[in-house]
A = this chain, B = another copy of it.
């Protein structure tokens, strides 16, 4: 289960565990040795994660054991209760929505949910939503506006699903419509990329007043694999594509695509989910505390200006 570059960390953890049980069974005092090893572990982990290549970060962002959206909904907000259905054609398990509470304020939450095991992954379509999912999102944006409920979205998807039904049901249309709908929200909206921010399918629920990204999450116009297949004509060049795409949290901060990087526990969110979730909770609360005094008109204007500014070019005029 450990990622390739986590192997030494994993081995060191195993050695510490072994030494602990040995010391216990044999009733010998190895605390000095254990402390030394733990310090080595901490340094190794810090160094490893401080120097991850972009491709390695892609792997962390997708790591099994990394907290999923429902893990955050269970503990980074209160009283989460799921609402189902797009009122049109179905209920998409890849895009979860509902009501919750942040402090004393009701909120609408929308989140892309990957599976935590194979069975759930199949049920959740690996977090790849169909048009139905985005229609559900838009329906709940209406609820948010009607009842003045701020919006939290958690982004974690390889992308919107590329399939026959999805195309027939207007995948492009609903993504565009969801971007537009979210830009018109009269309430504060906060988006957090918690894992994989996969292109238009991610952006469709990412048109927020504040966009955060977890330290080891990514956000990209295309997956490194697809990019490599097209531009290198070789999917094995995914690491090169990841490098070229500049898709890590700090890359995106530099590009102005995200407003803030949320630090993860050392070794990544999967090493200490509870800590990661708590940081997200604090971030959400802080963002809403700041945004709740903004008027609806200001919120719309700020959100529009935020996205209107996106891009880099030379202006000769």
**Which residues of A are at the interface with B, using a C-beta cutoff of 8 A?**
87-89, 135, 169-170, 173
Contacts and interface: CB of A to CB of B under 8 A. Distances in A.
Given A88-B88, A88-B89, A89-B169, 6 more contacts: A87-B170, A87-B173, A88-B135, A88-B169, A88-B170, A89-B89
Contacts of A169: 88-89
A314 B36 CA distance: 89
Contacts of A135: 88
Contacts of A88: 88-89, 135, 169-170
Nearest to A87: B173
A137 to B, nearest CB: 15
A18 to B, nearest CB: 59
9 contacts: A87-B170, A87-B173, A88-B88, A88-B89, A88-B135, A88-B169, A88-B170, A89-B89, A89-B169
A87 B169 CA distance: 8
A173 B135 CA distance: 15
Contacts of A89: 88-89, 169
A170 B87 CA distance: 7
Contacts of A173: 87
Which of A89, A169, A173 gathers most chain B CB within 10 Å? Answer: A89
A88 B87 CA distance: 11
A258 B49 CA distance: 74
8 tightest A-B CB contacts, nearest first: A88-B88, A87-B173, A87-B170, A89-B89, A89-B169, A88-B170, A88-B169, A88-B89
A130 to B, nearest CB: 13
Contacts of A87: 170, 173
Nearest to A90: B168
A172 to B, nearest CB: 11
A257 to B, nearest CB: 29
A88 B135 CA distance: 9
A150 to B, nearest CB: 25
A135 B89 CA distance: 12
A135 B169 CA distance: 14
A223 to B, nearest CB: 28
A177 to B, nearest CB: 8
